[in-house]
Structure 1
Amino acid sequence: MRSYRIGIDVGGTHTDAVMLDEFYQVIAETKAPTTTDVSKGIYHALKEVVMNANVPLEQINYAMLGTTHCTNAIVERKRLNQIAVIRIGAPATLAIKPLMGVPEDLQEILGKYMYIVEGGHEFDGREIARLDEEEIYRIANNVKGKVDSIAITSVFSPVSNAHEQRTAEILHEVLGDELELSLSSEIGNVGLLERENATILNAAVVNVAKETANGFIDALKQENIDAKVFFGQNDGTLMSVEYTVRYPILTIACGPTNSLRGAAFLTNKSDAVVIDVGGTTTDIGVLSNAFPRQSSLAVEIGGVRTNFRMPDILSVGLGGGTIIQVFEDGSFQIGPDSVGYKLSEKALIFGGDTLTATDVIVALGRANIGDACKVNHLSKDLLQAIYEKMVSMVEEALDKMKTSADPIPVVLVGGGSILLPEVLKGASEVIKPANFGVANAIGSAISQVSGQIEKIFMLDELGREKTMERAKQMAFEEAKIAGGDPGDLVIVDIEDVPLAYLPGNATRIRAKAAGSLKKMS
């Protein structure tokens, strides 16, 4: 029996959808405008791609979604959970309160119930103080009925998460198992404040993740599709609905990573720079062994500094809808504002009144879209200068993302990639694959499931070989929880960094397992 899968990716301008068969061949593809209510755009794209594919609905077994819902909720400060924040670290961490440095408007929403209790660990695993369990019980009774999600952060919990686990047990005992808990040891890296911030944001978007998942499942049901649902996460792999609700923060920045994975699949290139040109921005990322290179820097989300894993993506304010301002003295400015999904009504070539990057390439004869007669009056010299500046913006960004001066293969994807030429400085070759316009949706559809752990281990306890094996097993378990097929999982990345400043021959190990989706029963 044949098997099909749907991949959908939500961008700032378009929501792309594809239908693939069991051999990952594209059966149908579509682009729908991203709507203010993101769910409507998803539904329209889903409905259209199902209609265009014209395959038996009962043979559609999987549906994958890369979504911006959680990112938008944080940036727009909307639909966030009522949360409590518990930091385990008194008396050592009383000097700086939770949410320090977070924008005031977000502090007002998320900072209503904040507590610092005694407990936590030193960098070598010794207790700073015993966990004040009585205080945890008191907090649990105090927030009962007032919050629906709690963020728990303990000092050096990546070394020892015992106090976070015990706190979770008490909270579930008092408040019930339905309450959503976010533990920092499962989300961020060692730094306390950034890890705490990431955990708070994770707790804040749980309801958004639930609503998105339920909305997507309902949309599929409306089309009479009974498919297993997965969400894109920001390392270029997938996770189950249950895993998504537990770690919704991992959906942030999944769009660019879907494009990278799609580019790797479409070109069979495992090491390359991928330039994804959309309607609003150009996102540049690096493929390493067919997966996105991870960022080693702290990342800001909605003004909040965090340290959980994120792809290394450089965004440039250039896309198909980028607004070009021309001044009286002949000078011009490219972006950063964009007409976004209103390109088809605002651009000159579509009868609008705004000069966009798309108008520039049409006027120069580099693309055949809309009505070229509407841009014939523009100065070709001026347009050429604008175009050369557009290209140089991308070439400069490409240079920043490379780790050596040597030319490297470049893959162009995204509907806006028509803006760029076939030759770029710093590129050994420029490849624009078939289906380049929906590479992000393809990346969502073909992705594997993964699980990753990053933890500090003491080699003196088990020895190096057994410790590495333990880290791998932990990664396998995470991948299984995320929806991976246990018989198909392999370790795709492992690194260990010795920590000379810690006793016990400590090392930080990051292990990642990936594999196929669990087979449909």
Structure 2
Amino acid sequence: MRRRIGIDVGGTNTDAVLLEEDVVAAGVKTPTTPDVTTGITRALAALVAQAPAARDAQAAMIGTTHFTNAVVQRRDLGRVAAVRIGLPSGASLPPFVDWPEDLAELVRAEVVMLEGGHEFDGRPLVPFDAKGMREAARRIRAAGIRSVAVAAVFSPLNASGEEEAAAILREECPEVAVTLSHRLGRIGLLERENAALLNACLIELARKTTRAFTLALRASGIAAPLYLTQNDGTVMLAEVAEEYPVYSFASGPTNSMRGAAFLGKRDEALVIDVGGTTTDIGSLRHGFPREANNVVEIGGVRTLFRMPDLLSLGLGGGTRVATAPALTIGPASVGYRLTEQALVFGGDVLTVTDVAVAAGLIDLGDRKRVASLPGKLVAEALARIRAMIEEGVDRMKTDAGDAPLIAVGGGSFLVPARLAGVSEVLNVPHQAVANAVGAAIAQVSGEVDQIFQDLTRDEAIARARRAAEDKAVAAGADRATLDVVEVEDLPLAYLPGNSLRTRVRVVGEIAR
């Protein structure tokens, strides 16, 4: 029997589930701890106590916002040398040019600009400056810099410049971690370079974190290989995640949406995930979150990651409710301290959970502690919550008709049964741990974004599909299970040779 463990680390709770084939055999929810790994260890201990078969799982998947939080909160970041290969064409806007100044000061160790790079069709701009790269590598070694990000003009089409730079860096300073931009981003130099720089500053933290996750698994008696979930709802092996932590930036909300699709047996629907701190609303297409097609900012840095198109609201079970001078809900939250600070648990902070208990939406804690809340206040707070949800749903819809809405998350009791613009609200089994279910069912993906010339549309898509399938298999997918989930093609009329930019993404099950 195929068994998989899914774990999702949220700002308030850490959830864990055991899947046996396609059935949720057990699920637990425990408070997140400040050091993250303690919370995972406790969740796994509770899961094994409930279902001893978890020790025999063939794979364990963890979703975490640990790396996003590090960038947003400006903590645990390494210093990075930025190498850009593109002179004379790429000199106007140097690396870090559009970063928030406080973050740039933390991360920027050295900036190196070299001749090289390619045209849109892969032809060299100018020869690569290998001598300049070797001199820069020696300076990097002498300065004690431990991480380097390399970005070249149009490297997704021809990566030879970046690969040559990496080879020189490995020769001159073998201890340095090297991030190559063509392995991370799509076409678009600044955003791709930013992705590489963010990745490079997170590598040391990623190595510590994934090793701590592995230790937590082993301490729980689980020998399964560890995977981390990615922004697009698929997974990567822990050893890959150590080198590419930026792939996990938005894995938490993505897991919830994938879990909602699985539990609700719907591939096309809206999803609302109400957690302890925030509410995320998104849209499912073919069972995967609709991707954002605009520039995504992480901690103030522009990127072009594969990120879900989500609307986040400051509404959750731990959200604070202020009554003076007027009733306001959020965005501040007590987070994982809900069981200490909420009124129903003996605290002194009025939260959305207290309002829900007073209204009879959920039986939690000591209801007598909120019996004195005025009925008018409770009704007004619930009306405000309904309005927030309805406005959020309306903003995420792409057409005027009503759409089904799947409600998941530990705070899903806040979602009314009837909402404007919604055909039906689906409350699914195990909805409180849907995020962990989404992690457990995650597949492996491969993606190609490339410009083709002198090919028909069908030929370009077929070639991109083959390349995407090869990438997925290399990442651990079973070729027989691969399926195309996204195809985009854009004729580039301003370029010669019948140029066509084609993007194909495929997903498949983990190879056994």
TM-score for the superposition, normalised by structure 1: 0.95
C-alpha separation between the residues in 2 aligned to 1:127 and 1:518? 38
- Is 2:498 the partner of 1:505? yes
Please identify, of 489-498 and 283-292, the stretch whose mean Cα deviation from structure 2 is larger: 489-498
Q: 1:231-280: per-residue Cα shift (whole Å, max 9, x none)?
A: 10011111112332232111001001100110011011000000000011
Q: 1:226 aligns with which of 195, 220, 223?
A: 223
Which residue of the partner structure matches residue 256 of structure 2?
Answer: 259
**CA contact under 8 A between 2:457 and 2:500: conserved in structure 1?**
no
Aligned residues: 511
**Correspondence 1:119 to 2:116:** yes
Does residue 28 in structure 1 map to residue 26 in structure 2? yes
Equivalent residue number for residue 154 of structure 2:
156
The partner residue of 2:465 within 450, 463, 472 is: 472
Deviation digits for residues 275-320 of structure 1 (CA, Å, limit 9, x no counterpart): 0000110001110000110001111111211112211111001000
Shift of 1:156: 2.4
Distance in structure 2 (CA, Å) of the matches to 1:93 and 1:475: 29
What is the match of residue 441 of structure 1? 436
CA distance in 2, matches of 1:254, 1:405: 29
Bigger mean CA deviation after superposition, 291-300 or 165-174: 165-174
Give yes or no for the alignment of 1:272 onto 2:269.
Answer: yes
Residue of structure 1 equivalent to 2:373: 378
Of 179, 183, 202, 1:182 maps to 179
Instruction: Please tell me whether the aligned partners of residues 87 and 116 of structure 2 are also in contact (alpha carbons under 8 angstroms).
Output: yes
Deviates more, 1:239-248 or 1:335-344: 239-248
Report what 1:489 is aligned to: 482
**In 1, are the aligned partners of 2:192 and 2:304 still within 8 Å (CA)?**
yes
C-alpha displacement at 1:464, in angstroms? 4.0
Amino acid at match of 2:141: K
Please say if residues 47 and 54 of structure 2, whose CA atoms lie closer than 8 Å, have aligned partners that are also in contact. Answer: no
Counterpart residue number, 2:406 = 411
Task: Please point out which of 275, 285, 290 is paired with 2:287.
Answer: 290
Deviates more, 1:422-431 or 1:463-472: 463-472
Summarize the Cα distance change of 1:224–1:373 in structure 2 as closer, same or farther, 3 Å threshold. closer
The 1-side partners of 2:253 and 2:139 are apart by 42
CA shift in 2, pair 1:425/1:43, >3 Å: same
Give 1:50-65 correspondences, 5 Å limit. Answer: 50-55=48-53, 57=55, 59-65=56-62
- Tell me the residue number matched to 2:447: 452
Cα 1:11–1:56 change in 2 (3 A) is: closer
Matched with 1:89 is 86
Give the corresponding residue for 1:18. Answer: 17
SS of structure 1 residue aligned to 2:510: coil
Q: Distance in 1 between matches of 2:159 and 2:89?
A: 17
Shift of residue 42, structure 1, vs aligned partner: 1.2
Per the alignment, do residues 304 and 106 of structure 1 end up closer, same or farther by CA in structure 2, a change over 3 Å counting? same
Distance 2:60 2:358 in 1: 40
Query: Which consecutive unaligned segments of at least 5 residues does structure 1 have?
Result: none
**Could you tell me how far apart the structure 2 residues matched to 1:491 and 1:246 are?**
26
Residue-by-residue CA offset, 1:424-465 (whole Å, 9 max, x unaligned): 11111100100000000000001111111222222x1x5544
Match of 1:99 among 65, 78, 96: 96
User: Within 2, Cα distance between the matches of 1:255 and 1:286?
Assistant: 15
**Identity across matched positions, percent:** 47
Deviation larger for 66-75 or 384-393: 66-75
Q: Which range moved further: 422-431 or 370-379? A: 370-379
- Residue by residue, what CA displacement relative to the aligned partner does 1:180-210 show, whole Å, maximum 9, x if unpaired? 3222222122222222111100111122222
Supply the distance in 2 between the matched residues of 1:349 and 1:56 (Cα, whole angstroms): 33
Q: What is the CA-CA distance between 1:109 and the residue it aligns to?
A: 2.2
- Matches of 1:151 and 1:35 in 2, distance apart? 32
The separation in 1 between residues aligned to 2:68 and 2:283, in whole angstroms, is: 22
How far apart are 1:342 and its partner, in Å? 0.7
Equivalent pair of 1:454/1:508 in contact (CA under 8 Å): yes
For 1:9, the aligned partner's letter is: D
Question: Equivalents in 1 of 2:64, 2:237: separation in Å?
Answer: 14
Cα distance per residue 1:463-500 (max 9 Å; x no partner):
54443222112111221222212332232222211122
**Structure 2 gaps, min length 5:** none
- Partners of 1:381 and 1:438 lie apart in 2 by 32
Give yes or no for the alignment of 1:427 onto 2:422.
Answer: yes
Whether contact under 8 Å (1:9, 1:440) holds in the other structure is yes
147-156 vs 226-235, greater mean Cα deviation: 147-156
> Where does residue 246 of structure 1 map in the other structure?
243
Assess if the C-alpha contact under 8 Å between 1:483 and 1:518 holds in 2: yes
- Equivalent position SS for 1:170: helix
Distance in 2 (alpha carbons) for counterparts of 1:274 and 1:302: 25
Aligned-residue offset at 1:83? 2.1
Q: Is the 8 A contact 1:409 1:427 kept in 2?
A: yes
Q: What is the alpha-carbon distance in structure 2 between the residues aligned to residue 261 and residue 224 of structure 1? A: 28
CA distance in 2, matches of 1:358, 1:387: 11
Higher deviation after alignment, 213-222 or 160-169: 160-169
* Secondary structure in 2 matching 1:112: strand
Match of 2:38 in 1: 40
